[in-house]
Amino acid sequence: MNMIRSYGPYDKMMDLIGSNYALLQVMNRFGIPLGLGEQTVEEACMNYGVHCPTFIAVMNFVSEGSSRLDENMENISVPALIGYLRNTHSYFLDFYFPLIKDKLTEAIPASPDGMKTLILKCFDDYASLVRKHMESEEDTVFAYAGSLLDGECPDGYEISTFSKHHDQVGEKLTEFKNILIKYCPSNSDNNLLNSALLDIYYSEEGLDTHCRVEDLLFVPAIQRLEKTVAEKRRTAENGK
């Protein structure tokens, strides 16, 4: 049962994926390709320049169902985690959403009442909400983390400002999904439409997991960083 056992650096990559295919995504977004043969986690990380403890932390977090808050995560690298989160953003915005849109475009026939155009426009609207959410995260939160890493402590902003209002971005897709289920034209190509719907379900889950990585791995890591920077600052001031 993969719930209990945690993965370590000497596990084979193949065994990880074999036990839980959700980990494929983690691997992909850390920039580790397939075709790794017998390589272990540590070897694969070394070969592809991935920060191994961070990779393992995310792997275990996701494979355990993305709900466990673990306070012993001091070895996570914030830059590596940000890289992973950015890749996740771009996976959805630049790859997955366009793919869904293509399927919808093909599945829904053009009709005089303009439903096809309306549904596609509706999808664009929801996708752009997700885009806005993610872009603002990159502009504010990741930028803030960047300055903390440089040892600066920008006044007037704390990670809790972000986390308190960090809403579930997957929710936006839920609404579109429900609209599609309720109102899509019945003469659509149902196999293709179903496939698009399943992609949307999958995106919802994926975005959900993504938000949990942010809330339960990223935010605590930044809180620790805030503490360290503040302490350093205090020591420096006392030394004067």
Partner 1 sequence: MGNDKFINIAVAESSIIIRTGITNVLKKLPGLRPQLIEMASADGLQNYMRAKPVDLLIVNPAFGGHFDIAGFRKKAEAKDTKAIALLSTFIDNSVLANYDGNISIFDGPETISEKINEVISGPEQDDEEKTDTLSQREKDIVIRIVKGMTNKEIADDLFLSVHTVITHRRNISRKLQIHSVSGLTIYAIVNKLVELKDIRHQIG
Supply the minimum distance, in Å, between the C-beta of residue 67 and partner 1.
Answer: 5
Residue 58 makes CB contacts below 8 A (sequence gap 6+) with 26, 30, 81, 84, 213, 217
Q: Does 6 engage in binding with partner 1 (CB under 8 A)?
A: no
Residue 118 makes CB contacts below 8 A (sequence gap 6+) with none
Secondary structure class of 12 (helix, strand, coil) = strand
Residues 130-159 interacting with partner 1 (rule: CB under 8 A):
159
Q: Does 186 engage in binding with partner 1 (CB under 8 A)?
A: no
Supply the minimum distance, in Å, between the C-beta of residue 85 and partner 1.
Answer: 16
CA 172 vs. chain centroid, Å, equals 15
Q: Does 178 engage in binding with partner 1 (CB under 8 A)?
A: yes
Q: Does 73 engage in binding with partner 1 (CB under 8 A)?
A: no
Residue 15: other Cβ atoms inside 10 A? 12
* Segments in 150-218 forming alpha helices (H): 159-164, 170-183, 190-213
Q: For residue 19, which of 42, 2, 39, 35 has the smallest C-alpha distance?
A: 2
Only segment of 11-19, 61-69, 130-138, 195-203 that touches partner 1 (CB under 8 A) = 61-69
- Residue number with CB closer to partner 1 (74 or 237): 74
Q: Does 9 engage in binding with partner 1 (CB under 8 A)?
A: no
Q: Tell me the C-alpha distance between 112 and 61, whole Å.
A: 49
- Residue number with CB closer to partner 1 (38 or 71): 71
Q: Does 97 engage in binding with partner 1 (CB under 8 A)?
A: no
Given the rule CB under 8 A, which residues bind partner 1? Answer: 3-4, 65, 67-71, 112-115, 117-119, 121-122, 125-126, 159-160, 163-164, 166, 168, 171, 174-176, 178-179, 183, 208, 212, 215-216, 219-220, 223
